[in-house]
């Protein structure tokens, strides 16, 4: 009896010891996993000459648990560039929802009699950045179908859904000419399905005759901007040095430089001055092309309370708009989403109110908002400051949200050739273990390069990462460093593989 009791105790003791050993093993392996990753990354970062004098903030987490595997300056505030769009997209999906649409209304304060609208025609914008010339054509056809052939009144654009502030407060004056620095209005138009709202595309093609001016085509064709052509066609072996810029405070666009004959045309997306009036000009053109005469003038003003809606139009849902926003890193979309959140939640379509909503929403996802600085919704400001650990914290938390698949689908995919899949990562990590394995947001402003998102490793584990590089002398070199890190992560083994 005694021997049996002692034997039972011994067996239980051995089982307990084995359990402890077994329980300890993953912890040891996890430590080895961290050490191995740390050694690889530290060796890489220490050998990069382009990081000398620069700041490299890196945060890597397990997507399954949120555990931090690696942190280098992870809690240091750095300029995130367009990685800030991760915050904006997540907050917009949370606040507005993936099915949210922007509306545009046609209204009048008059009456239609014998095909004549005796009164003003209003087009009221509510932030839709996807309106194309073809949409205004459809609006004109719809007005024609309800019996309007003449408007005895003014054509008025109402952009009061947002405030009158056109630029975020840190916008550099040198950015205002280009698509990424376009003015923000609740009533705006885009030249193509990239939806770079508030811009025109200027296409310059060489003449067949050396010494002559190249030809210039506008998309959409509009008289709202004036083209001054000072460029020259040169011999085939000459230099292609074309500059296309708009003069500040005007819609005069200068085309200067040289373009060799027999070369491909060059294009530039140029931001217009005052997108509300630009939209009105396009709408007027569509009305006239569809046989609707306008007797009044073009104006910008608020719609009267007693105006009646003639027709209302809805944009594509937010889930679809996220594709050009995130894949192509569209700054205007980011700023519009901030103002829209301010309008819907606070009743004011301004950066101030929108950023309040953005910050409040981020706090719900566990982001420590007391350690970040938010100045816009696109990341173009050099005053934005975000620690890498806060970006990975957000990317971990939102995985449980019902709209997460829309968010993940909007991220650029490494080495995916299709433009609206690969986006800004389509030409990166090609023919490497990281091709197709990274879904992440890129970021670039002067001296800054960033990449944050998700990577699937060869062992089937998903990691969350944020790489923010500041004070670079050449931000293009930062992309190469980011790609090397992504490859290391794609090849990473978890503790189950040890």
User: Which of 402, 325, 400 is closest to 99 using CA atoms?
Assistant: 402
Residues 6+ apart with CB under 8 A from 137: 286, 289, 290
Q: Which of 79, 85, 126, 327 is catalytic?
A: 85
95: tokens are 């606040």
What is the distance between the alpha carbons of residues 188 and 88, in angstroms, rounded to a whole number? 20
User: Which of 387, 424, 409 is closest to 454 using CA atoms?
Assistant: 409
What is the distance between the alpha carbons of residues 450 and 367, in angstroms, rounded to a whole number? 19
3-state DSSP of 360-428: HHHHHCCCCHHHCECCCCCCCCCCCEECHHHHHHHHHHHHHCCCHHHHHHHCCECCCCCHHHHHHHCCC
43: tokens are 């060796």
User: Which of 171, 94, 80 is closest to 373 using CA atoms?
Assistant: 80
Q: Which of 71, 82, 393, 414 is catalytic?
A: 82
Q: Is 82 designated active site?
A: yes
Q: Which of 329, 410, 449, 452 is catalytic?
A: 329
Partners of 308 in beta bridges:
108
Q: Is 85 designated active site?
A: yes
Q: Sign (positive/negative) of CA torsion 365, 369, 372, 373?
A: positive
What is the distance between the alpha carbons of residues 467 and 393, in angstroms, rounded to a whole number? 13
What is the distance between the alpha carbons of residues 424 and 440, in angstroms, rounded to a whole number? 9
Got the DSSP string for 68-93?
EEEEESTTS-B--GGGGHHHHHHHHH
Residues serving a catalytic function are 82, 85, 329
């Amino acid at each position: 009896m005694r021997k049996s009791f002692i034997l039972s105790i011994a067996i239980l003791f051995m089982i307990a010891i084995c359990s402890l050993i077994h329980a300890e093993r993953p912890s040891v392996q996890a430590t080895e996993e961290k050490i191995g990753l740390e050694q690889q990354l530290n060796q890489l970062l220490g050998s990069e000459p382009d990081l000398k004098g620069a700041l490299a903030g890196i945060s890597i987490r397990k997507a399954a648990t949120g555990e931090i595997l690696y942190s280098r300056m992870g809690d240091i505030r750095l300029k995130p560039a367009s990685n800030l769009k991760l915050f904006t997209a997540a907050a917009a999906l949370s606040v507005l929802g993936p099915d949210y649409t922007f509306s545009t209304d046609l209204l009048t304060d008059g009456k239609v009699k014998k095909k004549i609208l005796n009164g003003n025609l209003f087009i009221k914008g509510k932030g839709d950045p996807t309106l194309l010339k073809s949409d205004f054509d459809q609006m004109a056809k719809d007005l024609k179908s309800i019996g309007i052939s003449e408007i005895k009144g003014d054509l008025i654009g109402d952009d009061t859904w947002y405030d009158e502030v056109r630029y975020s407060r840190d916008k550099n004056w040198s950015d205002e000419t280009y698509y990424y620095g376009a003015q923000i209005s609740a009533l705006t138009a885009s030249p193509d399905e990239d939806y770079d709202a508030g811009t025109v595309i200027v296409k310059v093609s060489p003449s067949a005759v050396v010494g002559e001016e190249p030809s210039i085509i506008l998309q959409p064709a509009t008289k709202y901007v004036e083209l001054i052509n000072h460029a020259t066609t040169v011999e085939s072996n000459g230099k292609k040095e074309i500059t296309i810029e708009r003069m500040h405070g005007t819609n005069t666009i200068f085309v200067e430089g040289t373009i060799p004959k027999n070369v491909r045309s060059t294009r530039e997306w140029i931001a217009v001055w005052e997108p509300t009036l630009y939209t009105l000009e396009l709408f007027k053109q569509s009305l006239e092309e569809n046989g609707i005469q306008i007797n009044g003038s073009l104006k910008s003003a608020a719609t009267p309370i007693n105006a009646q809606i003639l027709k209302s139009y809805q944009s594509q849902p937010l889930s679809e708009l996220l594709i050009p926003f995130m894949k192509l890193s569209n700054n205007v979309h980011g700023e519009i989403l901030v103002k829209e959140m301010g309008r819907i939640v606070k009743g004011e379509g301004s950066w101030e109110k929108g950023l309040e909503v953005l910050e409040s929403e981020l706090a719900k996802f566990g982001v420590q908002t007391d350690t970040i600085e938010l100045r816009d919704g696109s990341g173009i400001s050099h005053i934005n400051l975000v620690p890498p650990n806060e970006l990975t914290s957000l990317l971990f938390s939102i995985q449980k949200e019902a709209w997460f698949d829309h968010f993940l689908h909007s991220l650029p995919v490494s080495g995916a050739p299709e433009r609206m899949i690969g986006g800004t990562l389509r030409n990166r990590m090609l023919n490497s273990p990281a091709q197709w394995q990274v879904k992440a947001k890129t970021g670039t402003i002067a001296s800054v390069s960033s990449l944050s998102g998700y990577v699937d490793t060869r062992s089937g584990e998903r990691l969350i990462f944020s790489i923010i590089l500041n004070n670079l002398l050449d931000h293009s070199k930062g992309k190469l460093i980011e790609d090397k890190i992504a490859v290391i992560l794609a090849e990473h083994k978890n503790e189950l593989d040890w």
